[in-house]
Structure formats: C-alpha cells, structure tokens
Amino acid sequence: MFGKYKPLLGEKTQLKSSYDVVIIGGGLHSLATAYFLAKEHGITDVAIIEKNYIGFGGAGRNTAIVRANQRTQYNVPLYKEALDLWPVLTKDLDYNLMFNNCGNLNLMHSEAAMKAARMTIATAQFHGVESHLLDAKEAKELVPALNISEDITFPIHGAMFHPPGGIVRHDAVVWGLAKGASKYGVEIHQQTEATAVNTKNGKIVSVETSRGTINTSKVLISAGGYSASLIYGMLGIKLPISVLTIQAMVTQPLKPLLNHVVSSGAYHCYANQTLKGEIATGAHMDQWPNYTTQTTAHYIKHQAEALSEFLPCLRGLRFMRIWSGLADMTPDMAPILDGNDQIEGFFMNCGWGYFGFKSCTVAGKYMAEFMAKGEAPDMIKPFNLRRYEQHKLMGETAELVTYTPNN
C-alpha cells in the first residue's frame, strides 16, 4: 500500500552557480510560485533558497483557516480562486491537503459590526461567494457552544456565516507543494541562507548565499515575515510593513464539539477544532514590530478570558501548547505583489499579514505568471507598492491608520 519510503523532495543536489529564477524563502508562497512556474510556464530551472527548513516560518505556524470573505472587490476574487484551488491541488499533487470545508462563522458584536458584515456579505454575494448574515439565535443554532447572553464584554448580535471556508492541513500544503515542485525539477536548498542580492545598472545579476554565489536575472523575495527586512537590507527598498508576532494555541484533544471555524474581531479570537480534536485558537498580535517567535503570558491569559466569555464550555478544557509566527502587516491589510519596477528582475510578494496561508496558492500562481511574462496579471495589479504614495490605500480594513503598526 505504501511501498518504500522515498525522500519526499527527491535526492539532494548540489547548489548550481546559476538558475533562471532564484526564490528567497522556503515557505508556502515560494513553493507555490515555483510549482506554478514549472507547471504552467515551463520554467523549471528554479532554486528555492531556505535558511532553515521548508515550512519553518508562517507555513507551519498559521491558523490553517481558509476563506474568501474579505472586504473589497480586489481581494474577494483572489481568495475565491484560492478556495477553489484546494481540491484541485489535492488531486494534482496527489497529496491529501485535508480540506475540511466546515464553514466560517464570524461573530458580530454591535449594530455597527452588523452593518460592516452586510457590506462584506454583499461583496461576497456580488462576486458569487456564499456568505450570509445570521442573527444571534441562528448563530447559536449553528454553534450551540456560543454564549449569546448580554452579560459579556462583547455581546453577540449576529454573525457572518461563510460556508465555503474551512480548514486545510497546513503542513500537508508545504510538503505537497514541495513534492510537486521537486517533481518538475525545482531545487529546494534548505539550510542555505541568502545573504545578498546583487544588481548592476538597475538589473538583478546574482544572489549571494551561505553556499556560494548564484547568477540569475530574476529574484523573488517571498520570505513571509522576513521579507521586508530582507528587501530593505539587500536592496534598500523600504516597505510600508510592520512585522508583528502573532500567537495561537491548542487545547488538549477532545471528541467533536465545534463543527465550524468561529471567529470574533472584537475578541481578537478565532476557534476551531482540528481533525485531531484539539481546539485551535488564536490570534493576537502585540502591536509592535517583532521578529521573535516566542509567546507571551499576557496573551494566553487574554485568550482564556475571551473564550470564557463567548464559548464558556471551553473553560473546562486545558491549553496544551502556544506558539507564534510573524505577520507582515501593511496599513491597508492588503499585500504587496510587485516586480520589475524599482529593479528589473526583482519581484516581491509580501505584506500578507495573517492572510498568507489562505492566499498562498493563488499568490504563487499569479506571481509565477508575473515572473514568466514580465508584466503583472490584472488580478494582482492593484496590489502594487505605489498605491501608498498615491494615497490609494486599498480599504481591506476600515480602520484608520494612526501610528504604525497600529492598523
């Protein structure tokens, strides 16, 4: 049934002195870009350069939640396509990505939030994405564990129910994409650190790594939370990004209790039950820049306080493990997908904040097209860097920017 255990990423190879494309970062966006470069555009002479091991960063630390109920018309179609890709990739990669299409229930705690939800739902429905507004009673029928009484900090007024969303096994996506990309000949070099990107006359010429120089004319930096620091450090390009540490945790495993992803903006909290039975819950960010993946006492307590209020039965559960990852936040909560602008042959894919997992496949697909053709596909054109100096924040969040990273 399983045969011999073959190395998932093929046999090891030596780092070559030149590649058509070098991708810095071995996370989901890089793996997906490499996979689509090879599969859709026939560009297989690609090296992924990863300092640690694949999936070390956000790929292995995220919420695993997928959904397409974003706020603006630029984002919804992108995430819709991402949702549609999970079953396709499971098949194409022949790797079970374990898409649990359980639906997302986003709680609303005020009249104002209900209005905001209406707009989001209308936007979803306008783009053919299913989403509905529920009142508190209907939400409780869906998720019996909810506390819809008035005596909590943020009483539940209703919820946005988004049936197409759910959870995907994040590690499986890393390994599946890596397996898929390697099959086409993409080389994944782990334990290899990119130390510099060299340009000449405004063009990319090479990448320095801990294992030698690679000549190339195309470089993509999509290193998750580390992107902004690398892009500034290597190329002097400053970005409107603040990198924050985001935390999540799981309880001890339990027989089925929650059948949906439940989330609340007001409580800064989501909760869902993994296939293993743990209640996975997050996600708070300390509002100052960090590259630490340590956790805080403050947050695990905060999370317990929040869950005690709106999912009070969970008080009888025990937290088992808390971890953290990095989220590269932009002021308008939308990513930066750009390239061939400041430097010819240089591409960047960053600023996803905490949406990096749910978007990885589709971002990889369009970045691959961008890199193959040299021009941004329409789908991702609005996500260019220059929008900030043109005073055109995307509106993915309604919240006003005061101080960075307070967005």
* Shorter beta-carbon distance to other proteins: residue 313 or 372: 313
Minimum Å distance from CB 250 to other proteins? 8
CA distance 71 to 69: 7
* Shorter beta-carbon distance to other proteins: residue 162 or 371: 162
- Two tokens, residue 286: 């300390």
Minimum Å distance from CB 359 to other proteins? 20
Phi-psi region of 290 (alpha: psi -120 to 50; beta: other; left: phi over 0): beta
Distance of CA 382 to the CA centre of its chain: 18
Minimum Å distance from CB 41 to other proteins? 26
Write down the residue that tokens 């209640």 correspond to. Answer: 279
Minimum Å distance from CB 252 to other proteins? 5
- Two tokens, residue 277: 């039975």
Query: What SS3 state is found at 134?
Result: strand
* Shorter beta-carbon distance to other proteins: residue 17 or 252: 252
* Shorter beta-carbon distance to other proteins: residue 280 or 368: 280
* Shorter beta-carbon distance to other proteins: residue 34 or 393: 393
CA distance 81 to 61: 23
Minimum Å distance from CB 300 to other proteins? 6
* Shorter beta-carbon distance to other proteins: residue 113 or 368: 113
Question: Nearest Cα to 159, choosing from 181, 140, 178, 186?
Answer: 140
Minimum Å distance from CB 38 to other proteins? 18
* Shorter beta-carbon distance to other proteins: residue 165 or 240: 240
Minimum Å distance from CB 372 to other proteins? 27
CA distance 384 to 288: 24
Task: Look up residue 182 and give its DSSP letter.
Answer: H
Minimum Å distance from CB 211 to other proteins? 6
Please name the residues in contact with 59: beta carbons below 8 A apart, sequence gap of 6 or more.
27, 28, 170, 171, 173, 174, 224, 357, 360
Instruction: Kindly tell me the sign of the dihedral angle through the C-alpha atoms of 245, 251, 254, 260.
Output: negative
* Shorter beta-carbon distance to other proteins: residue 12 or 203: 12
* Shorter beta-carbon distance to other proteins: residue 55 or 339: 55
Minimum Å distance from CB 215 to other proteins? 19
Please name the residues in contact with 177: beta carbons below 8 A apart, sequence gap of 6 or more.
28, 31, 32, 35, 89, 93, 361, 364
| Half-sphere exposure at residue 380, Cβ-oriented, CA atoms within 13 angstroms | 26
Question: Nearest Cα to 117, choosing from 160, 156, 148?
Answer: 160
